[in-house]
Amino acid sequence: MKYVVVSGGVISGIGKGVIASSTGLLLKTRGFKVSAIKIDPYMNIDAGTMSPLEHGEVFVLNDGGEVDLDLGNYERYLNVTLTRENNITTGKIYSKVIERERKGDYLGKTVQVVPHITDEIQNWIERVAKIPVDESGEEPDICVVELGGTVGDIESAPFVEALRQFQFRVGVENFALIHVSLVPVVNGEQKTKPTQVAVRDLRGLGLMPDIVACRCTQRLEKPTVDKIAMFCHVQPEQVVVVHDVNSVYHVPLLLEQQRIIQVLTNRLKLDSMNVSSPFIAKGTNLWNQWKQLTTSHDRMFETVTIALVGKYTHFKDSYTSVIKALEHSALRCHRKLTINWVESTDLEISSNDSNRVKFHKAWHEVCSADGILVPGGFGSRGTEGMIAAAKWARENKVPYLGICLGLQIATIEFARNVLNLTGSNSDELVDKPEHSLVVFMPEISKTHLGGTMRLGLRPTHFQPGSEWSRLRKLYGGADSVEERHRHRYEVNPEYVAQLEGAGLHYVGKDDVGERMEILEMKPEDHPFYVAVQYHPEYLSRVLEPSKPFLGFLAASSGILDELLENNLQVKASN
Ligand code: GLN
């Protein structure tokens, strides 16, 4: 097993995750089987209980693990399926060590950060790196390990020390380190000092970079590269730059041009590894597809505008996978994507005069969009605005996609405005509504919030008589589909007959047929009114866009029929 560790200096949030996943992708194009581990040095056991406004989206895996959004990057770039174990947190490591201490595993010993915590970290990495992640079912060849935060933080100290020891445990020829740094441009001058200091800190902790990856708004000038090489004690070819590019999909190309794979090949002796020819062919094919995709991205001019009506819109990281799924679909439909970010509270009529400007602006964004998307969310703030947006989409025949909360919203809206059940609401949003259209799932814990939702991959069955469903056609006419979930509430089955009678059809249900998974209006009633209780965005891939998103984006671009008739392909000339 070869390990490529990616750490960060200077500041976090400059694209370490994208650089790590792009490196993994490049290794994959050479035929290697690549896995990934993300280390998050916080005390939470997982990201499930963290606010999306603080930490970004919570990503959900097949096994129901609620993890850091970087795991989503890895799954998308490497086309792999990861497990909750691939996200290591301080909380997980400590609780494991404490559990072992109580069992008496360390009997007689004083349990300490070094060696007990650091050993546990190393054991965890070695164990998880071996888990098969792709359809081959074989052990991976290379594992990318990304260390969250920046080196030098108090939080990450035990992990840095564990990695220092780890390079000797696995052997130096099996361990390479990429340190991601920032080169700010001040008054036109590219400043190398932060990078020098960051690398000095790293060396002081016993780790040496094999590649210094510099984020910069512009290309690095030759003297800048030479200076970094000299002060950081590396060869100039070990300094790569990731300057701002059109899209993150270009980053692998950028790294490839700078021969990052050659550096890693020499360093890790990758030439001596046995790679079977089918894997090499697959890798080459993947690379060609990737290059084609990024060039076609640069040649797209027709636009499609989607209004994203949510409550965390001030922090775009809260919707990473939703944005990605829209982008993947836009690439397939040859459309340039514009997202109108609409804070749903702004759509609500307020008595406060100063909010009126926001109100009109927000409605302008909704009304001028080609499609309206209401994503997942928790709590009542902004839900009346979402209900109003769903009403607009339904009445004006604008394509609508509701995800999780977005399905519950569409249900409440329909009950209120079509069935005239004016007191309709969700038990999550108000206390004892007159009509509880959305209710708490009986099997869910009311006292424990961590990891207790209905989570992970679960089947949805299309119902008899749903052959007309566009979503079903998008899924290739399947009888059932598997998608990832994350919710506590569900549509109240007692109202389903009434809702269906008036034209809102629950075409997909769970195993028992009691849990509503997909709602849809018939094609004669609406061009595309679809909502799902699951989160299809988590399984969307660059080259394999999520079907609900693809249908929604095509409908918003006015090419849904073409897409369905041509085996989900769209001609570029459209
Ligand atoms: N808050 C809703 C529920 O728990 C929706 C969850 C979501 O959108 N992820 O059911």
Q: How many A from CA of 406 to the centre of ligand 1?
A: 9
The structure tokens listed for 420 are 């005239």
Which residue's CA is the nearest one to ligand 1's atom 7?
Answer: 376
Q: How many A from CA of 560 to the centre of ligand 1?
A: 28
Report the share of the chain in percent with pLDDT over 70. 99
Stretch (H or E) spanning 83? none
pLDDT tens-digit series, residues 102-140: 999 999 999 999 999 999 999 999 999 999 999 889 999
Q: Where do runs of H (alpha helix) occur along 418-532?
A: 470-474, 496-501
| Cα distance between residue 313 and residue 306, in whole Å | 13
Domains of the chain: 2-290 (3.40.50.300), 300-573 (3.40.50.880)
On the question of pLDDT at 45 being above 60, the answer is: yes
**Ligand 1 touching residue 470 (CB < 6 A):** no
Report the share of the chain in percent with pLDDT over 90. 84
**Ligand 1 touching residue 385 (CB < 6 A):** no
Question: Secondary structure of the chain: what % helix, strand, coil (to 5)?
Answer: 45, 20, 35
Stretch (H or E) spanning 185? strand 185-186
| Cα distance between residue 384 and residue 85, in whole Å | 38
On the question of pLDDT at 56 being above 90, the answer is: no
- Residue 54, phi then psi, degrees to nearest 5: -100, -40
The DSSP line for 143-160 is: EEEEEPS-TT-TTTHHHH
- Quote the pLDDT of residue 293: 81
pLDDT tens-digit series, residues 485-500: 999 999 999 999 999 9
- Quote the pLDDT of residue 49: 85
- Quote the pLDDT of residue 574: 47
Closest CA to 88 of 23, 43, 55: 43
Q: How many A from CA of 505 to the centre of ligand 1?
A: 20
Q: Which residue type sits at 25? A: L
**Ligand 1 touching residue 287 (CB < 6 A):** no
Three-state SS annotation for 91-118 = HHHHHHHHHHHHHCCCCCCCCCHHHHHH
Stretch (H or E) spanning 543? none
CA separation, residue 424 to residues 53, 344, 400, 483, 533 (Å)? 28, 19, 20, 28, 18
pLDDT tens-digit series, residues 373-391: 999 999 999 999 999 999 9
Strand partners, 60: 66
Give 221's contacts (C-beta < 8 A, 6+ positions apart): 190
pLDDT tens-digit series, residues 390-407: 999 999 999 999 999 999
Closest CA to 256 of 272, 267, 242: 242
Pairing of the two strands 189-190 and 185-186: antiparallel
Kindly state the average pLDDT of the residues 234-242: 94
pLDDT tens-digit series, residues 258-297: 999 999 999 999 999 988 888 999 999 999 998 888 887 7
- Quote the pLDDT of residue 351: 64
119: how many CB neighbours lie within 10 A of its CB?
14
CA separation, residue 327 to residues 221, 248, 336, 543, 549 (Å)? 32, 11, 9, 11, 9
CA separation, residue 172 to residues 5, 122, 168, 177 (Å)? 12, 15, 6, 11
| Cα distance between residue 198 and residue 181, in whole Å | 7
- Quote the pLDDT of residue 570: 87
Dihedral class, residue 31 (left if φ above 0, else alpha if ψ from -120 to 50, else beta): left
Closest CA to 413 of 434, 435, 390: 390
The structure tokens listed for 380 are 């009542």
Give 526's contacts (C-beta < 8 A, 6+ positions apart): 394, 397, 400
Give 93's contacts (C-beta < 8 A, 6+ positions apart): 117, 120, 121, 124, 158
The DSSP line for 380-434 is: STTHHHHHHHHHHHHHTT--EEEETHHHHHHHHHHHHHTS--TTEEETTTSSS-S
Reduce the DSSP state of residue 458 to 3 states and report it.
strand
Annotated active-site residue 384? The verdict is no
Strand partners, 402: 374, 531
Q: How many A from CA of 404 to the centre of ligand 1?
A: 6
On the question of pLDDT at 477 being above 70, the answer is: yes
Q: Which atom of ligand 1 is nearest to the CA of 438?
A: 10
Annotated active-site residue 404? The verdict is yes
pLDDT tens-digit series, residues 244-254: 887 888 899 99
Given 404, 413, 483, 487, which residue is catalytic? 404
Please state which of the ranges 35-44, 193-202, 292-301, 353-362 shows the lowest mean pLDDT: 292-301
pLDDT band at 41 (very low <50, low <70, confident <90, very high): very high
Closest CA to 97 of 115, 122, 117: 117
pLDDT band at 314 (very low <50, low <70, confident <90, very high): confident
Do residues 265 and 211 lie in contact, with contact meaning Cβ atoms separated by under 8 Å?
no
DSSP structural state of residue 355: G
| Cα distance between residue 34 and residue 67, in whole Å | 19
pLDDT band at 573 (very low <50, low <70, confident <90, very high): low
On the question of pLDDT at 503 being above 70, the answer is: yes
Q: Which atom of ligand 1 is nearest to the CA of 377?
A: 8
The structure tokens listed for 459 are 């089947």
Do residues 214 and 195 lie in contact, with contact meaning Cβ atoms separated by under 8 Å?
yes
| Cα distance between residue 65 and residue 48, in whole Å | 8
| Helix 320-332, helix 277-298: angle, nearest 10 | 90
**Ligand 1 touching residue 377 (CB < 6 A):** yes
pLDDT tens-digit series, residues 144-201: 999 998 998 999 999 999 999 999 999 999 999 999 999 999 999 999 999 999 999 9
Annotated active-site residue 535? The verdict is yes
Do residues 334 and 570 lie in contact, with contact meaning Cβ atoms separated by under 8 Å?
yes
Which of 352 and 562 is assigned the larger pLDDT?
Answer: 562
